[in-house]
Structure 1
Amino acid sequence: MPNRRNVYFFHPKNQETKALVSPLIELAKQYDFQVVDHFDSANIIVSIGGDGAFLQAVRQSGFRDDCLYAGVTTSDQLSFYCDFHIDETDKMIEAITTENIEVRRFPVLQTQIDQGTSFYCLNECSIRSGVIKTLSLDVFINENHFETFRGDGMIISTPTGSTAYNKSVSGAVVDPLIPCMQVSELASLNNNNYRTLGSSFILSAEHTLTLKLSNDNNHSPIIGIDNEALNARQVDQVQIRLSDRQIKTVKLKDNSFWQRVKRTFL
């Protein structure tokens, strides 16, 4: 990593985690990396914990596409966003001393609520009813009405997020090399009165998905962005597209996306 020398370690500020991170800080300094106190000054951001910590590191640092993210897990098994285990210092040394390091790029969703602020998602955006009743959504692909959905909600996932919430509702696992987003239903109503596609579908990066809440909703849905929920009191529509941003991570030879899928599910 000849041009990336400023490292920020993202981790919980408790004594137990600080004790785990301390050897990593010394290792970084040993190989002439500068450990910085804020992620704004870093061009390498290392999360300590698991996939949840990695998602928070990306979110809190603003989904930067000008730096390299790396995940270090403290559990017994590697996860989808964590290439390293806290005890595998040999792999970390190999990664930081390799001149021609390979970089993995993950697609990111851009979500806009009404005409307000845009939010980014590395895993998925989900929309669900805020009360115990079905949610009614008019689904548009670009400017064209596709269907009227009635049910518990919808999940829109990235390829890397396809193995998370999306997979639990029988969505497809998608190769991250395909720039796309997947739309999956949550308990849709399909009968003589209501009809939806009834299966997940995939949209390319050229398309924009718009979900318009029908007038009979209370317009206060629960909107999830990765592992956080947005506090939105009234929502008329949610627009989702694939962002131009990409999250860059270290790519190890023995830890491809499909090796992770096999290790996790098979």
Structure 2
Amino acid sequence: MYLANKKINIVSNNKSVSKETERILKRKLEKSDFIVTENFEPNADLIICIGGDGSFLRTLHKYNFPDIPIIGINTGHLGFFQDLSPRELDEFIFKYKKGDYRIDEISPVEGLICTGNSCNEILGINEIVIKGFKSRTIHLNLSLAEDFLEKFSGDGILISTPTGSTAYNYSLGGSIVDPRLNLLQITPIAPINTIAYRSFTSSIIVPEHATIKIFPEYTYENSVLIVTDGTEHRYNETVEVQVRLSELKIKLLRFKEYNFWNKVKEKFL
């Protein structure tokens, strides 16, 4: 399989090492007969994101979770999403031209935030977090579909995808989940567990078709803070939040030797 003359979008953050990597990569791709677009092309064949994990997530959000395979080059710190380093550009081009790769699909998490007069949809690759505004204790009634689960009290709850299980979820003590599993993980953030308030203190795993419903109770104000992949949104008079796995698929370009658990050991152990 020979993939020359294919369009490639390159997206980079503003760090000098990223811009230099972008310049070198563009020259190498064009020398190999690829077309590197000046502006983001929704009909391109590949997105290459240069930066760290934050840049990778911002790229997907900025371009509305495009139906184009994406791969990352790490010029940041952890680089869990990024599969390449700047020194692997030639190897990447060689393998890509031969078609020596696979496409892994992951599902974002989808939230529907309903206020008194409207509903707003949000998506997250890693997670959706429901918190109290100004870090106040929040009280949330949780249900799985129509089955009441608990009245949570604490700083908030995080609902993560398997892909996001190694991010904020992991720092809260949640489980690392193999991304080949389709499920959602509910992880409490500083739960209160006393005579007055009883909350789960560990993660809850729910199946892929589950709908998680959250009904806030208000004491001091009538707003909640929704955080998706690190970006905050404040919604006033929120009456219900529904969270489920999205039917949308994000396509990650992987080399055939990619192994999730090897990456976990490399980055965390």
The reply on whether 1:155 has 2:161 as its aligned counterpart is no
Deviation (angstroms), 1:84: 0.5
Maintained 8 Å contact 2:75/2:85: yes
Aligned to 1:35: 36
Aligned to 2:47: 45
The reply on whether 1:20 has 2:12 as its aligned counterpart is no
Q: Counterparts of 1:1-266 in structure 2 under 5 Å?
A: 2=3, 5-13=6-14, 17-36=18-37, 37-64=39-66, 66-75=67-76, 79-114=79-114, 115-216=118-219, 218-266=221-269
Deviation (angstroms), 1:10: 1.0
Equivalent residue pairs, number: 264
Q: Please give the per-residue CA displacement for 1:150-185, whole angstroms capped at 9, x wherever unaligned.
A: 000011101011001001111000000001110000
Maintained 8 Å contact 2:160/2:184: yes
Instruction: Quickly say closer, same or farther: Cα 1:51–1:132, change in 2 above 3 A.
Output: closer
Aligned AA for 1:166? N
Deviation (angstroms), 1:15: 6.1
Measure the CA separation in 2 of the matches of 1:107 and 1:23. Answer: 32
Measure the CA separation in 1 of the matches of 2:26 and 2:65. Answer: 23
Measure the CA separation in 2 of the matches of 1:16 and 1:265. Answer: 24
Instruction: Quickly say closer, same or farther: Cα 1:219–1:6, change in 2 above 3 A.
Output: farther
Can you give the 5+ residue segments of structure 2 that lack an aligned partner in the other structure?
A: none
**RMSD over equivalenced CA pairs, Å:** 2.0
TM-score for both structures, normalised by structure 2: 0.91
Q: Please give the per-residue CA displacement for 1:50-74, whole angstroms capped at 9, x wherever unaligned.
A: 111100111111112x210111111
* SS across alignment from 1:199: coil
Measure the CA separation in 1 of the matches of 2:129 and 2:119. Answer: 17
TM-score for both structures, normalised by structure 1: 0.92
Maintained 8 Å contact 1:107/1:176: no
Maintained 8 Å contact 1:113/1:235: yes
Maintained 8 Å contact 1:80/1:257: no
Q: Please give the per-residue CA displacement for 1:86-136, whole angstroms capped at 9, x wherever unaligned.
A: 221133123311225211222211111114221110011111111343100
Can you give the 5+ residue segments of structure 1 that lack an aligned partner in the other structure?
A: none
Maintained 8 Å contact 2:108/2:123: yes
